[in-house]
Structures are given as C-alpha cells and as structure tokens.
Structure 1
Amino acid sequence: MESREATATIKGFLYQFNETIRQILMLESTSNLTIEGIEDIDIMTGDGQTNAIQCKYYEATEYNHSVIKPAIEWMLKDYKNRLDKGDNIISYKLYGCYSKGQEKLKELIDEQSGVRKLGEFKEKLLTKKKGKEIVKIYEKLGLEDEEVSNFINQLDIDNRALSFEELSKELNSLFRETFECGAIEAEYYYASALHLVSHLSIKKEKKDRIISKEIFKEKIDNKEFMFNEWYLYFKGDDEYYKEITKTYFSALNNFVHANVFIFAYDRNKDSLKQIRDLIITIAKKYSDVESNRKIDYSKPIIHIKDIKPDELSEVKNELYEHELDFIDGFPYKYSKFRTQEFMTSKPLHFMFVDDFECLKDVIKELDSKKSIKIYEFYSNSNYSKERLIWGHNMIRVKNTSDIEGII
C-alpha cells in the first residue's frame, strides 16, 4: 500500500511538472509564468491579468465535490485577502484528472442558461463539516453573496484534464511543433525541460521562478548536446576526440583569447593527481607566462565543479609546490572575492575561480575587455544549464581524465 501511495505521489508531482511545461509552451509572447506562485502555475498576461492554476492528478480517484473542496477553499481565502488589501482580483483554475464521476460537476451549473448556481456552489464546495459542526466557509470569511458570486465567476473548474499518458503525447507533439523536430529529438527536449522546471521550482525567490516561453526555449535548446551524444555513440571515443581536438584546439593562436576551462571532479573515477596534471597541461599550453610578447599575458581561467574545499586546497598546494604562479580572487586571508584580481597584467600560469557564481562575474568583467572562449567539459547531465557568453562551448567527454589528451 505504502509503495503504491509513494508511486502515485511521485506521478502526481511529475504530472504537475508536465502540465507546467505544457503551459509554458502555449504562452503568448507577451506573457510569462511563475512556477509555484499563488498556485502551482501562475500565468501573467501582457495586460496585467493573472490566472492561478492548481493541478490535481487523481487518475485512480472518482471525482466528488469533497475531493476539490480544500483547493477551492484555499482559492476563496486568497480572493478574500485580495479584497481586504485592495489588490487586483485574479482568475483561478482547478485542473484535475479523475477516473470517473466528471458529470457530477454539472450539478453546479444551470442546464438551460449555463449560469453557475450560487446556492449549489455554496453548499457543495464552500461548506464543510468540522467534527459535528457545519462550517460555512464564506460566512466565516465574512463574504456577502455578491462577493461569493464574483469569486465563482473568476473560477474555472476543469475535471476532464488529460491523463498522464495523453499529456505525455501532447508534450511530444508540442516539442515537435516548437522546435520543428522529430519524435526522438522531442524526447531530448522534454528531458531538458523537465530538468529546468524541477530546478526552477525549488528556487527560494519568486523572481527566480518566473520564465517566458522564449527564455524557456533558449535554456532547453540543446542540439549541441544531442549531436555530441550521437557522434560519441556512433563514431566511438577515438574519432570523436580527434574531431573535438580539430574543432577547438588545433589553432596556434592560443593567446588571442581569454581561455576558460570548466570541468568536473568525479571522485569515483578521478584522482586529485589527475586533476593536478590536467591543470599543469592547460598552463603549459595556454599560458603566455614565459613569452617575450609585448601584449597582455594570456592566463587560462580554471573552474572545477563538484570538488570539495579541502580537495581543492590540496590541488592548489601541489600546484604551488610545482612552482606554478596563480591567483584565485582572494588576495589576502578572509578577503571577499575580487573580480579585479583577474584583470592583472602580471604574468601567471593560470587563474582559479572556485565558485560558479563568481566565475559569471569574472566572465562579465572580462567580456567587455577581451575576446573569451569557454570550454566546458561534461559527462552525462553534469553541465551548466546556461551559456555564459556566445563562445561557451560544451564538450562531451566520458571521463575528466580524457581531457588532457584532447587539448
């Protein structure tokens, strides 16, 4: 029983995420969407209107008014709160999937006129039992009939939502239409979209959970990743890595750009010695520290993902003992991170940026002064979900240890 309940709960969350993706793909260009806002999904139109949508996945449950009553009560309380504060009144929608019983919703609507019956709504959805007590929610909130009627007119109940399977098919169709691709490619887009939505849903600040259709499309458009997966699978490691070297690392003008290298430390596969040796190789090939050139020195910037502070400290210590000169944005003990450190003309073998958010600040500062090339090596889903600049190259590798041979 517990296993079935857990599966149903997980499926319910996934259904909500899928419906969120569907709503984003159907947005108008002037609209945006908030994930986990007033309700599960809030759609804000260009003219300032808001539609708050709550998703309910009860595919194994028969529809009864009692099933949706808690959700309607929550919406009514939000409506009352807006009246009291003088805030804009919004629209509400309850979107639910049920096994049967959908016809019961007709009890709330006049068959002839199609007008919603105030009395039926109040009795069936806005009244509940608390022990032996009958609680009229609208009376408890101090709402008059006119106010309740206005709320009902702002409420849309759809108890014939798509099933889980139907929604999945609908999404595949929407992805094919949006990106003009085939069914298999659409599955890749879906995987990327699901990752993005789940990631946004846990953001603490509301502003970070707001997205438009265009931004959404940009963030999930991963044709480069799909091509890399295809090439690696069909051509094999050797051919793929040769092509990567030829495409990105065969030019002789290594010092023209500010070169940024991003890679991960997988402690299940890599040793810290391998990480150290990789950095030494990068420093030898991409640092202009021993050159007599009169131009600004070229100093590769390195960011290592998934490495613990003590592990990174060990790598830095070993590199220092190898007499390599580097900085990390902290000029003295207890210093805050300083991006201006990375603007130095002092000869260095490389520069470390420990934190990805700090790396974004450094890139932003450098981008106005010098051409930048970013080489991000990733395996599986371990890659940044945003491109920092136009020249942000995503390179698929099986292991971090493969990078040294590629560059």
Structure 2
Amino acid sequence: MGRSADYTIQGFLYQFNQTLSELLKAADDAVITVEGIVEDIEVKTFSGTKAIQCKYHETQDKYSPSILYNPLLQMMKHFKSNSDAKIQYHLFAHFPDNPSITISPAELNSALSSRNKDLKVLIAEVAGVDIDGFLKVFCISVTPKYDDLVDDNTKLLEELGFNKGEVQTLFYPNAIQIIADLSIQHNEQLRTITKRNFLETLRRIRSTAVSQWTLALKTRQKILETRRKQLKENLNANVRLRHLVIFPAFLEQFDDQIVLFIKSFIDKYNFKLSHTLTPIFALDVSQVEIDEIAERLIGKDVIPNLGRPVKTFSENYFFREAMVQKDKKEFVLRFICWSDYKNLTHKVKADDIFVIGEGDTTGVDAKDVNIEILGAEKFEEIKYMMGICNAY
C-alpha cells in the first residue's frame, strides 16, 4: 500500500490544516510555531520530539471514551518506555457532534482495566505506567470536520488576495507543503514563521508541490494535471540538459519499473539526433544495483555510459560526448550512483534537475539550475507529469 493511502497521512494533513488555519487568521507579525510531526506511535519513518495520533470519526454515532482507548494505551506504552525523553503526546480527535472531551486519570484507568480482548496485550505492556506523569505531557484537541477545515482554508487564501482559479492547484497544496517542510525541523526555532513571511513565500511559488502530502489531498488529479502543464514547456525543448535523481525508498515497484521508466524517458526525450545533450540518471542505490540495472537496460537496447572504460571510474570518460554512427548514438544516457553523482565536478550545469521520489538533496549545487521535485510514489504518475504518457 502506498503511503498516500495510509490513514496516518490524513492525520498529519489534519494537523497541517489546523496550523494553516491559525496562520491565515493570525496578525501579520504574529510568530507561529509549527508543531513537529515527530514519530507517530504507528509510523516509524518520522523522528523527533512529538508523538501524534489523529482519530477522525466522522461517521461515529456518538462519542464514548472507549473509542480512544487504543491510541491512549499506545501513547502510554510509548511514554512508559521513554519517560525521560521529553516527548509531548497530542491526540487530535473528531466526532460528528463535536463533544467536549476530557481525559483524566479516570478515563486512563478505565482504559487500563478494559476487558476488550483486542487490547489485552497492550494493557499488559502499559501496566504500572505513571498516569499523572503522562497527563503532564499529554493533550487532546477536538477538531472540526476535515472537509470543512479545508474549505475554510481555501476561502481564507482567496480573501487574502490569492487568485481563486489557482488556489486549489497551486497555493493551497503549496501552503500545506510549506507547513510539512517546517514540521520536520528538529530545532523548534526553525519551525517558527510569521504570517507575513509565510504569505510572501507562498506568493513567490509558481510550481505546484508534488509530495506524499499534496498527493494525499482530494485534489490529487488536478495537482497532477497542473504539474504536467507546468513541466511541458521545458520538456518540449530539444536542446536542454536534464539530470534525473531518483530515490527508490518509497517508489512503488521500483525494481520492476525502473528500466521501463528510463527507456520510456529516452524514447521520448533523447531519441533524435537533435537531442544533443545526454541526460544523467543518478540513482540512490549501490554500485552493484547500478550495474544490474545497466545490464537490463542494455538488454532493452538502451545503452548507458557508466564512466568506466573497463573497471575504474573516469570522470572524463563519463562526460565525453557520444559518438554517432549514421542515426545511432553510442550511448543515450549517463548512469551513476547518487553518492558518486554528488562528488562529480560538473563541467556544464544541468538546465533541469528532476528529483523523483523523496530523499535528501542537500549539497547539490542548485544555483542557476531549475529544480523540479516530483515526490510521487507511482511511476505511472511520474510519467504522466513528465509527458511520457497520457494516462496514469
């Protein structure tokens, strides 16, 4: 299952939308600290100093404390093992009738004495927890309906002067992305922003953010279509140097799809003799995996230049121009590990660097280079945005 389908993503989006609401309603110079999306009890891919659970019960008939026993027990279990870690535990909850919810020692003791068989193991693990200590680092917030919160935020953006026709596909998703980027900062000072600076940053952005967050929004299809239009002009240019940096960690079916993706890109954007600038593909994999993928590419008659005349890497060999015999190029792409790519002495800077997947691009010289972040998780969506195919 892709991460955008994971319900925990919706929990984080809920939090981001609450933060956005506070920002848009604040005074221009008010300083807002974005809550960190630290390690969720059930999601181990995030790290930090705040543990979050979001329980969204839009269809629940009425509120009962027992509905929250599972997340409360999970948080208490984590607290018991990390009582000195200075972790704050936040529970965001929504119910149709928006009840006032109070979590006191009585509710926690009820959770610990529950006879629910599904909670038996968890209750045993939490036995002996310091309830009073936990309550000092715990808070719960009752929140409005998700769709209502999103609608309110888009209306607020329009009222602040953002073009109504671009709010859903440009400004709103980018607002969520800015907040998400701030939230992963470990230093609290780096998670602060004023409304004025936030709006100034948002107004300068002219390309739609594509990430696990924005593609989890209900406007996913519109975002993909908009991003495709934004990329079209540069991709249609015959003479343009393109580097593609690919992080496989969260890409679905990476091993099955990577060769087909590279071939489809070459067939679209580097098959003419007028395509004189050879693209570089830098993959965040081992050298052994690079060699295996290269062998598979050769089997598809897509010839890569790995920068190795025999065994040792040569930067001069890597950057040499491909020989052309009649209508066939000696090689059609340069192929390299991400770790080696970062150490290259680029004689000519790329016009575009496409970052596919999600990874750390710190250290890449982006001055005078057009960076395109495509944080989708499906190759079909990436190919659609890049104009390689017309459907996804």
Where does residue 151 of structure 1 map in the other structure? 134
Deviation for aligned residue 1:75:
1.3
Alignment of 1:127-276 (within 5 A): 127-130=113-116, 141-143=127-129, 147-158=130-141, 160-172=142-154, 181-189=162-170, 190-191=172-173, 223-224=206-207, 259-260=241-242, 262=244
TM-superposition CA deviations, 1:340-360 (whole Å, max 9, x none)? x224598532783335x52x7
Evaluate the alpha carbon distance shift between residue 353 and residue 192 of structure 1 in structure 2; reply closer, same or farther with a 3 A threshold. farther
Work out whether 1:366 is the aligned partner of 2:363: no
Q: Which has the higher contact order (CA 8 A, sep 6+)?
A: 2
Give secondary structure in 1 for the equivalent of 2:82.
Answer: helix
TM-superposition CA deviations, 1:206-261 (whole Å, max 9, x none)? 99xxx9578x99899851469xx889979xx9xx869975xx95xxxx9xxxx445
Letter in 2 for 1:157: I
| Counterpart-to-counterpart distance in 2, 1:139 and 1:233 | 53
Give secondary structure in 2 for the equivalent of 1:18.
Answer: helix
| Counterpart-to-counterpart distance in 1, 2:358 and 2:5 | 26
Larger Rg: 1
Counterpart contact for 2:54–2:91, Cα < 8 Å: yes
Counting matched residue pairs gives 309
Evaluate the alpha carbon distance shift between residue 330 and residue 168 of structure 1 in structure 2; reply closer, same or farther with a 3 A threshold. farther
| Counterpart-to-counterpart distance in 1, 2:74 and 2:34 | 25
Counterpart contact for 1:15–1:164, Cα < 8 Å: no
Work out whether 1:16 is the aligned partner of 2:2: no
Counterpart contact for 2:39–2:52, Cα < 8 Å: no
TM-superposition CA deviations, 1:315-357 (whole Å, max 9, x none)? 6x576xxxxxx83234436x7xx4xx224598532783335x5
TM-score scaled by length of structure 2: 0.54
Counterpart contact for 1:262–1:374, Cα < 8 Å: no
Match of 2:275 among 260, 267, 282: 282
Letter in 2 for 1:327: N
Give secondary structure in 2 for the equivalent of 1:281.
Answer: coil
Q: Which runs of 5+ in 2 are unaligned?
A: 24-30, 210-224, 246-257, 284-292, 323-330, 373-383
Letter in 2 for 1:93: H
Match of 2:367 among 379, 386, 390: 390
Where does residue 312 of structure 1 map in the other structure? 297
Letter in 2 for 1:313: I
Give secondary structure in 2 for the equivalent of 1:366.
Answer: coil
Letter in 2 for 1:66: S
Deviation for aligned residue 1:79:
1.7
Deviation for aligned residue 1:89:
3.3
Evaluate the alpha carbon distance shift between residue 221 and residue 124 of structure 1 in structure 2; reply closer, same or farther with a 3 A threshold. farther
TM-superposition CA deviations, 1:168-201 (whole Å, max 9, x none)? 12443676699x73344332244567799999xx
| Counterpart-to-counterpart distance in 1, 2:350 and 2:111 | 60
Deviation for aligned residue 1:59:
0.8
Give secondary structure in 2 for the equivalent of 1:166.
Answer: helix
Alignment of 1:323-402 (within 5 A): 327-332=305-310, 338=313, 341-343=314-316, 347-349=320-322, 352-354=333-335, 358=338, 361-362=340-341, 365-367=344-346, 370-375=347-352, 388=364, 389-393=366-370, 399=387
